[in-house]
Structure 1
Amino acid sequence: MIGISETGGPMADELNRRNFLKAAAIAAGPAVIGARGANDKVNIGWIGVGTRGYAGLDWLHTAAANDVQISAICDTYDGYIARAQDRLQTIWGAKAKAHKDYRELLADKSIDAVYIMTPEHLHHDMTIAALKAGKHVYIEKPLAHTIEEGFDIIKAWEQAKKVVQVGTQNRSSSLYKKAKELIQQGMVGDVHFVRAFWYRNGLPNEPSWRYVIPAEANPQNTDWNRFLGTAPKRAWDPHRYFQWRLYWDYSGGISTDLLVHQTDIVNFMLSKTVPKTCMASGGNYRWTDPSDDRDVPDTLSAVYDYSDKMQLNYSCYLGNEFFGFGEEIFGNEGTIRVMNRQDLYFEPESYNSRRANAPNRAPENIKARAAIHINGPQEYKESDGAINHFRNFIQSVLGKEQVIAPPTVGQQAAISGHMATLSFKNQKKAVWDDTAQKVHFV
């Protein structure tokens, strides 16, 4: 069960609100990689080399090729392992030891840190096992598949005292850091309303998240039971294996794949944590072919209210891509938009309802603020924050930095996503109870 409480009350063994928020403000301390020779590198184990995990092999090389080596990889599909080995040979100059069981990889005492790039229902067990094995951990977002599982990971992290970075990589983007800086400078004034959205599309024969299933995939070269983990047992289903984002057993869909990135970066830019309430609605309105058995909605809207008089309006539709994705900060003195992780725009308010040829009625201090446009690839040589995020993790393992997205921050982001899922499933407003650290409904 995702963290649900109809009556409230403390959650056994959970963090209380004060400890949760205090911990969220403190990233993992300086690293604990022991004494190493000048030529030694951080030994990396890589769990999950599917779509994103495969891409990450290149990102880590760009981020920290001189500081790390990938000595082991793990996946439950032989085809992904073979593809990753080829890429490692090409980019890194050497292949890695291959595993199908992540526990075998974790048993290797020479491995210092692991990247966990697997479906979200596996995050809990893998992360806790890695911490118990003494590894530093980079865990993809969302932190966990449920609210309770997220708190389990926080507890294990606090006990292990290892470096953990959650993959909400927008926090490492120079473009978003610039947006946060402008907001802190007072460029937009007070903020009581934010709009965030993510719009995608696919051709009629390429439904959203219906990734291509390799023709050679079968139960003999795919470890289906290890993929299922603690999810409900069922017969081999290549759709569920390769298109897992479409099923509640393994994913929160829009809520935890896309929305989480955007509520998290709003938290970052505006120094927020967990919203007070969420009301979500939607459904499968675009991809409705009778053969499409997806669970998760292709259309979702969620309205969040924060305790300090701010509302976030979120929408996602997987049937039109015209507006792309982005976040818009509506201040009473100006607006900041970050679009497609590529462009930042600032415009001051003119208080004229944007009527053509109407005079600018802004006070002089607001009128003096020049409009801004920054293109991230041109200004910062970044396409997004992923490579910086990888680099920040490795530098933290080496004791030179602190992670920008520790588990407490990752849990705050995940809670927002889980609140949307819970509200959608129950068709009720989800309310976050700070004291009980649970959701209840009204």
Structure 2
Amino acid sequence: MTSDEHRGLSRRRFLGRAAGLGASAWAFPALVPARAFGAADRVRVGFIGVRNQGTNNLKALLSRDDAEVAALCDVDRDVLAAASNLVSDRLGRVVPSFHDYRELLDRPDIDAVLITTPDHWHALPTVHACQAGKDVYCEKPLSLTVAEGRTMATAARTHDRVVQTGSQQRSAPEFRRAAEAVRNGRLGTIRSITVGLPGVNFDGPAVPDAEPPAALDYNFWLGPAPDRPYNPKQVHYLFRFFWPYSGGQMTNFGAHHLDIVQWALGRDDSGPVHVEPVSVEYHPEGWYEVPRTSEVVYTYDDGVRVRCRQGLGDPSGIRFEGTEGSIFVARGRLQADPEELLSEPSGPDAVRLEESRDHHQNWIDCIRERRRPICDVEVGHRSATLCHLGNIAARLGRSIRWDPDRETIPGDSEAGAMLSRPYRKPWALDI
């Protein structure tokens, strides 16, 4: 199906499913399964986006006995063919492949979808999947804008779907232990939190615009993003360094580390009240659009300050400092001074955070048991919101206030307008 033909595909079926959405946006009903799962049943998963991390997710589920790779979708036919070959080599059979994700969602034999697309393609498939009665695993950052994230959370609640955000650090023991120590007051009063993000790993230099390769439906790849010429260094992995599609390392690694900060502070349903850009530097030759380096400070209503430093030489990870000691945590690394800060919490009042040792397993288990996953859509939305607010402040070059209850930027219409973005027609996030 060409990008022109997809315009005529039945969008109305999604709009019909969305009728009435919003009335229960803040309700939390019991999750209702699309089908009953027996002990031997496998969750049948369709994959939307199968390049890079999409391939990793595909391999992860191919190794499971409780999940079945049931369908594949990608707008690049070479990428789709490679994924199809991977699956057929592993399973000894070919699974259905699609160019348009909406055709995949129409299949009644699909229970859930795993979305690994560029960020500007997270919201539409997630909302449409919820409307189609499918559960969802959506890669981080959950959204491209704050408004998208709220819409995704609303869709999940209204249609009683299990929606996991791909912030897999929540399923790593070192991050849970660090967050648990903070939540139990082991560090005393928190003095500061420093988040280190890596620098931009753009494959420079920039190159001129060109004709898109025949294998890629570039118009469909753009989707709701503004129309702009194809550039080979603005697609696939490098999309994340251009504003129409992503938000740089702030939304890439920041979505991971700021998520753990929110968890440790017990702010999964909230956020900071003030965001200040201390420093922002862009590439001198404009190879990409997002900041080359930046430091953004988030302040919470209790005075806790989080310094998020990107590309400034800090180790990638999180340092919590309090009156009783400090903890540094990164992937595969957990250090405390003194070491006893990390001893297991005990007593009837001890805070025990949810434990997950496998992010995909947690999602599959929650689908079968109809419960919220460890990085539920609301959690993913709130964590992504920090990233978006940091980028808004950095782009404006000034501080902004944030009302986490109303999810607004009070008294600042220019900043408030950046909480959402218009969609290129005919795409619309209708709910």
Residue 229 of structure 1 pairs with residue 223 of structure 2: yes
1:336 maps to 327
Q: CA deviation at 1:191?
A: 1.3
- Structure 2, unpaired ranges of 5+: 1-20, 345-354, 413-431
1:349-388 maps to which residues of 2 (within 5 A)? Answer: 370=340, 388=358
Residue 249 of structure 1 aligns to a residue whose secondary structure is: coil
Task: Say whether the 8 Å CA contact 1:15–1:151 is kept in structure 2.
Answer: no
Task: Say whether the 8 Å CA contact 1:428–1:441 is kept in structure 2.
Answer: no
Aligned partner of 2:276 among 276, 279, 301 = 279
Q: CA deviation at 1:309?
A: 1.5
- Structure 1, unpaired ranges of 5+: 1-12, 349-368, 375-384
Structure 1 residues 14 and 411: alpha-carbon distance in aligned structure 2, compared to 1, 3 A threshold = farther
Q: Which amino acid aligns with 2:291?
A: P
1:116 maps to 115
Q: Which amino acid aligns with 1:388?
A: D
Which of structures 1 and 2 has the larger relative contact order (alpha carbons within 8 angstroms, sep 6+)?
Answer: 1
Structure 1 residues 434 and 327: alpha-carbon distance in aligned structure 2, compared to 1, 3 A threshold = closer
1:166-205 maps to which residues of 2 (within 5 A)? Answer: 166-200=165-199
Task: Say whether the 8 Å CA contact 1:433–1:439 is kept in structure 2.
Answer: yes
Structure 1 residues 201 and 155: alpha-carbon distance in aligned structure 2, compared to 1, 3 A threshold = closer
Residue 402 of structure 1 pairs with residue 392 of structure 2: no
Q: Which amino acid aligns with 1:397?
A: I
2:423 maps to none
Q: Deviations along 1:412-442, whole A, 9 cap, x unmatched?
A: 1011011111101111212112454212467
1:35 maps to 36
Q: CA deviation at 1:155?
A: 1.6
Q: CA deviation at 1:167?
A: 1.4
Q: Quick one: distance in 2 between partners of 1:162 and 1:89?
A: 29
Aligned partner of 1:439 among 409, 418, 427 = 409
Query: What TM-score do the two structures reach when normalised by structure 2?
Result: 0.79
2:360 maps to 390
Residue 358 of structure 2 aligns to a residue whose secondary structure is: helix
Structure 1 residues 345 and 111: alpha-carbon distance in aligned structure 2, compared to 1, 3 A threshold = same
Structure 1 residues 154 and 193: alpha-carbon distance in aligned structure 2, compared to 1, 3 A threshold = same
Query: What TM-score do the two structures reach when normalised by structure 1?
Result: 0.78
Aligned partner of 2:256 among 261, 276, 288 = 261
Residue 433 of structure 1 aligns to a residue whose secondary structure is: coil
1:36-435 maps to which residues of 2 (within 5 A)? Answer: 36-62=37-63, 65-200=64-199, 206-207=203-204, 218-242=212-236, 243-272=238-267, 273-285=270-282, 287-288=283-284, 290=285, 293-317=287-311, 323-339=314-330, 341-348=331-338, 370=340, 388-399=358-369, 402-435=372-405
Q: Deviations along 1:98-141, whole A, 9 cap, x unmatched?
A: 11111111111110000011111111111111111110011111
Q: Which amino acid aligns with 2:320?
A: I
Residue 196 of structure 1 aligns to a residue whose secondary structure is: strand
Q: Quick one: distance in 2 between partners of 1:188 and 1:311?
A: 15
Task: Say whether the 8 Å CA contact 2:199–2:292 is kept in structure 1.
Answer: no
Q: Which amino acid aligns with 1:270?
A: L
2:424 maps to none
Q: CA deviation at 1:34?
A: 2.0
Residue 320 of structure 2 aligns to a residue whose secondary structure is: strand
